[in-house]
Amino acid sequence: MSAPLADRMRPQTLDEVVGQRHLIGKGAVLRRIVESGQIPNMIFYGPSGIGKTTVARIIAQSAGKQLFKLNGTTASTADIKDIVAQTNTLGGLGGILLYLDEIQYLNKKQQQTLLEFIENGSITLISSTTENPYFYVYNAILSRSTVFEFQPVTPEDVAAAVKRAFTFLEGERGVKLDIEEGVIEHICLSCGGDVRKSLNAVELCVLSAGEGPEGSVRVTLDDAKAISQRSAMRYDRDADEHYDILSAFQKSIRGSDPDAAVHYLARLLTAGDLLSPCRRMLVTAAEDIGLAYPQAIAIVKACVDAALQLGLPEARIPLTEAVILLATAPKSNSAIMAIDAAMSDIKKGGVGEIPAYLKDGHYAGAQKMGRAKGYVYPHVKKNHWYDQQYLPDPIKDKKYYAFGDNKTEQAAFQYWQAVKGGERKE
């Protein structure tokens, strides 16, 4: 069985790698490091299919060291020790470079074993991971490595790889390809920045192609669409992409951009994730709209309940209504600012004894202990308010809530200014 197309035409130099110009373009930092000949310990982080393994292999091959390769899904502690043992052989005199793919799958003990040999200089490590290394890689290894983040490849850059792949297959199979207009563009747009995925689509298009004019092989747009459908979006409910989309979703609502908010909602729903946007919208209604439009959370809750009862695809309708409502509503974060300030004070010890007249007086003996004595019931006073101290003495002058500058909170501010601004009303 032949190797995948992505392996058969894998780039051999940095100039042949598609994308990642911010790292390996002329004058870019990673390229300068490689050209210096002094290879540090490095971690390549980013989604699959964008060149991490390819770049690591090119660097390893140019390093002048004995190269070993391991995969975190199958490597054992014994495998690591066997490689380190090669430092005492003739081949290891120039140094050993270990390329470790998917380092996040090594357990803590394995990573600690690896650390020992990184620290004493026995090996140079180049590792790659699709997961955020700051969550999954042992801190001591992180502190001794430089992390380089790889980005999804743009459709424009993918186009070069797709065209080269069709040309490669023409030569490999000895046929003339008749490629329908729009095929290359569709593959580039549908691969979601994953070069490997785009090359797999190219190979499948050729394998499934029918006869074309004058003995050629016809690659149609319909075939390309069938092969690459629903492949454009990266999404994993337990990985960075999930939280990045949710973060962009809430920030778009907070920023009052309904178009962006609907876009990110669509990405979540297209991935079949119904619960995450529901929860995030309820949080956003309280955190970012808050008292500027207090009814928002009740409306969003109704939309969320309707969506959960309907299920997808109909759930998209009430959720979109809720998202647009939130994005176009006035904004206030006065409530969250108030509670966060109060909790911060409490954690710092800003508590104090509750005034005796505020304590519970509904039990035998409470009066003898001075509980609830002197409390004034505000509802018997004018405007249902009486000027008395509610905070403990040590923090009696603390102010946690500041009225927002929106219409609703300003109306409340004006009301209480009129009530509290005069003399005490008996």
Whole-number Å distance between alpha carbons of 59 and 13: 9
* Element holding 311 (H helix, E strand): none
> Does a structural domain hold residue 207?
yes
Same domain, 189 and 166: yes
Q: How many Cβ atoms are within 10 Å of 51's Cβ, its own excluded?
A: 26
Residue 272, judged by CB atoms within 10 A of its CB (0-12, 13-18, 19+), counts as exposed
Whole-number Å distance between alpha carbons of 253 and 319: 13
Q: What is the pLDDT of residue 75?
A: 87
Same domain, 283 and 384: no
Q: What is the CATH number of the domain that holds 224?
A: 1.10.8.60
> Does a structural domain hold residue 126?
yes
Whole-number Å distance between alpha carbons of 235 and 141: 28
> Does a structural domain hold residue 349?
no
Residue-wise DSSP of 361-387: --STTTTTTTTTTT---GGGSGGG---
- Span 237-281, pLDDT tens digits: 555 678 888 999 999 999 999 999 999 999 898 888 889 999 999
Q: What is the CATH number of the domain that holds 89?
A: 3.40.50.300
Count of positions (residues) in the chain: 426
Q: What is the pLDDT of residue 406?
A: 93
- Among 149, 171, 206, identify where a domain stops: 149
Tell me how far the alpha carbon of residue 102 is from its chain's centroid.
Answer: 18
> Does a structural domain hold residue 280?
yes
Same domain, 247 and 196: no
Same domain, 137 and 161: no
Same domain, 141 and 256: no
DSSP 147: E
Q: What is the pLDDT of residue 29?
A: 92
> Does a structural domain hold residue 2?
no
Q: Domain residues for 207?
A: 155-228
Same domain, 39 and 127: yes
More confident residue, 232 or 397: 397
pLDDT, mean of residues 376-398: 91
Q: What is the pLDDT of residue 391?
A: 92
> In this structure, are residues 267 and 235 in contact, taking their beta carbons and an 8 Å threshold?
yes
pLDDT, mean of residues 315-337: 96
Point out the least confidently predicted range of 35-39, 49-53, 358-362.
358-362
Longest dimension (CA), the chain: 107
> Does a structural domain hold residue 185?
yes
Same domain, 135 and 24: yes
How confident is the prediction for the chain on average, in pLDDT? 86
Same domain, 246 and 360: no
> Does a structural domain hold residue 85?
yes
Same domain, 200 and 269: no
- Among 228, 255, 274, identify where a domain stops: 228
% of the chain residues with pLDDT over 70 = 92
Same domain, 141 and 127: yes
Question: pLDDT at residue 18 above 80?
Answer: yes
Same domain, 42 and 130: yes
- Span 81-100, pLDDT tens digits: 888 888 766 655 667 888 89
> Does a structural domain hold residue 134?
yes
Report the number of distinct structural domains present in the chain.
Answer: 4
Ranked by mean pLDDT, the top range of 76-80, 131-135, 303-307 is 303-307
Same domain, 138 and 216: no
| Phi and psi angles of residue 101, each rounded to the nearest 5 degrees, phi first | -85, 140
Q: What is the CATH number of the domain that holds 361?
A: 1.10.3710.10
pLDDT, mean of residues 394-423: 89
- Among 293, 328, 363, identify where a domain stops: 328
